[in-house]
Amino acid sequence: MSEQTASGLAEGVQPDRVLDATGLHCPLPLLKAKQALAGLAPGQLLEVSATDAGAWRDMAAFTELSDHVMEARVQRGDVYVFWIRKAGNSHS
């Protein structure tokens, strides 16, 4: 697995919601992320941490098949961190 830097993510950007899915096995990290996104407003940012290696593939496939945007993803040791922006425009 390769590491992608959070180049599209400005330093110090605060997510609107943080989801700790560490310790959960596939497909729970993805299901929990979908639930968390459902509770966000369009344009808000979700940060997900997971330890299941399948999450790397699952989160990428999910965002490719949906209108949500994978802003960045990184691997930090055994933890995979994803920043997913909910589909739609924010009206702030």
Amino acid at 8: G
- Side-chain half-sphere exposure of 24, counting CA atoms within 13 A: 17
- 3-class SS shares of the chain: helix, strand, coil, % to 5: 25, 30, 45
- Active-site positions read 26
